[in-house]
């Protein structure tokens, strides 16, 4: 199994330096989404004291020409702190700082989808929209081969790996356990994890989380996973179909509810929302992966526990549908529904925004409405 050269450096030697006192100074790692809309970048600055609120963090800048976000002739981009977490790698009092990116003219960068999402969420505060996202991912060696798979072949067919236990079924659990604990330390709303159907594929869940916090927490959980994998010398892939053939893809199933849905009789509101979603299927498909549906086309085939990308469907306890109503929700007549269409590499800001636009703002048609006009 190919692992990174950096992972072979002595961790004991590094720890000697990490144990040195840092005085009153604080290291703040600024994190942002780059021009791909999928990858994360980061850099660190020193603060004179521990920040207690996001307002205490200074703006910063970076070279956007090196992150696919600007031309070299006008490359300065602004980092605007948006959410702050404890740093599980450097530990307290150090911080992880998730940032929005603004262009030279102070307008949001093309991949800064948080900006509009925050505006949309502020319009529905009284509805208290809750989200829970199920992030599937695949562990790979640095050569791109799935972690633990035979170097010149395939493991046994799918069946024993989902929630599996044992060295021949669970590939890479150390990464999963480290990530889980690091998220808890950071303050991420992680609520669970499990091995998935394909070997070397795992899932963690974040939520229930309200409004804009859903995107913030999922992006930081992804960043922490990348960093944990870096320490172990392996790679995490959020590709929705990393291995072709008779292997499950990777999604980011999104659970959604509003205050009305969670109250008695809420099933009626859920069903009305599903009717509205059915009329905007193509809008949601375009929003649910960074390439406007092209990535999901490899995954949403109607096989391997997916619906067809071309057709909208819904059902109780049906994992082959676009929208699944959990059986307990059908019995209790209230609760939430699960949108199974988002891909593993989706941007949670636009996924949650799209659900709010359709289900709460009751938008129609194939384009989002511009409320700034």
Q: What token pair was written down for 262?
A: 């969670």
Exposure string for 210-248, b = 16+ CB within 10 A, e = fewer: ebbbbbbbbbbbbbbbbbbbebbbbbbbbbbbbbeeebb
Structure letter (DSSP) for residue 17:
H
H helices of the chain, in order, are: 11-18, 114-122, 173-186, 213-232, 259-262, 266-278, 281-287, 294-297, 327-332, 348-359
Q: What token pair was written down for 144?
A: 């791109």
Position 302 scores a pLDDT of 87
Q: How far apart are CA 183 and CA 58, in angstroms?
A: 24
Position 373 scores a pLDDT of 66
Q: How far apart are CA 217 and CA 172, in angstroms?
A: 23
- 224 close to 182: Cβ distance less than 8 angstroms: yes
Position 153 scores a pLDDT of 85
Cα–Cα distance list, 111 to 25, 231, 313 (Å): 32, 28, 30
Closest CA to 178 of 133, 218, 233: 233
Position 75 scores a pLDDT of 87
Q: What token pair was written down for 128?
A: 């208290």
Give the chain's residues under pLDDT 50: none
Biggest CA-to-CA distance, the chain: 61
The alpha-carbon radius of gyration of the chain (Å, integer) is 21
- 120 close to 195: Cβ distance less than 8 angstroms: no
Q: What token pair was written down for 235?
A: 């790679």
Closest CA to 326 of 277, 217, 253, 250: 253
Structure letter (DSSP) for residue 291:
T
Cα–Cα distance list, 19 to 149, 214, 234 (Å): 37, 34, 25
Q: How far apart are CA 208 and CA 354, in angstroms?
A: 18
The total of other beta-carbon atoms located within 10 Å of residue 193's CB is 18
Structure letter (DSSP) for residue 72:
G
Q: How many CA atoms lie within 13 A of 214 on its CB side?
A: 33
Q: What token pair was written down for 153?
A: 């072949």
The total of other beta-carbon atoms located within 10 Å of residue 10's CB is 8
Closest CA to 367 of 281, 283, 290: 283
Q: How far apart are CA 92 and CA 87, in angstroms?
A: 7
Closest CA to 315 of 328, 333, 327: 327
pTM of the model: 0.96
The total of other beta-carbon atoms located within 10 Å of residue 286's CB is 18
Q: How far apart are CA 93 and CA 100, in angstroms?
A: 22
- 102 close to 189: Cβ distance less than 8 angstroms: no
- 266 close to 260: Cβ distance less than 8 angstroms: yes
């Amino acid at each position: 199994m190919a692992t990174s050269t950096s992972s072979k450096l002595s961790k004991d030697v590094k720890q000697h330096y990490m144990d040195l006192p840092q005085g009153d100074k604080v290291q703040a790692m600024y994190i942002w989404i780059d021009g791909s809309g999928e990858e994360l970048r980061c850099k660190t600055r020193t603060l004179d004291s521990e920040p207690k609120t996001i307002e205490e963090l200074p703006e910063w800048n970076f070279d956007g020409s090196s992150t696919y976000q600007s031309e070299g002739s006008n490359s300065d981009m602004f980092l605007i702190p948006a959410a702050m977490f404890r740093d599980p790698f450097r530990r307290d009092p150090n911080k992880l700082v998730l940032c929005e990116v603004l262009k030279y003219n102070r307008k949001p960068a093309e991949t800064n989808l948080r900006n509009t999402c925050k505006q949309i969420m502020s319009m529905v505060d009284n509805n208290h929209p809750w989200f829970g996202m199920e992030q599937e991912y695949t562990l790979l060696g640095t050569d791109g081969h799935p972690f633990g798979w035979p170097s010149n072949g395939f493991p046994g067919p799918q069946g024993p790996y989902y929630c599996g236990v044992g060295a021949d079924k669970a590939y890479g659990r150390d990464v999963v356990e480290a990530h889980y604990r690091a998220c808890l330390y950071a303050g991420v709303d992680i609520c669970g994890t499990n091995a998935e159907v394909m070997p070397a594929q795992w899932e963690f869940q974040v939520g229930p989380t309200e409004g804009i916090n859903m995107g913030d927490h999922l992006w930081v959980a992804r960043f922490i996973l990348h960093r944990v994998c870096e320490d172990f010398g392996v790679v995490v892939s959020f590709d929705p179909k990393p291995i072709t053939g008779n292997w499950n893809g990777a999604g980011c199933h999104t659970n959604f509810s509003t205050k009305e849905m969670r109250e008695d009789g809420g099933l009626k509101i859920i069903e009305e929302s599903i009717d509205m979603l059915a009329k905007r299927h193509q809008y949601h498909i375009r929003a649910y992966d960074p390439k406007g549906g092209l990535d999901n086309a490899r995954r949403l085939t109607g096989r391997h526990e997916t619906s067809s990308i071309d057709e909208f469907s819904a059902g109780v306890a049906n994992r082959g549908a676009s929208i699944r109503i959990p059986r307990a929700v059908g019995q209790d007549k209230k609760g939430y529904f699960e949108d199974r269409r988002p891909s593993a590499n989706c941007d949670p800001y636009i996924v949650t925004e799209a659900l709010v636009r359709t289900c709460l703002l009751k938008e129609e048609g194939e384009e989002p409405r511009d409320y700034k006009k």
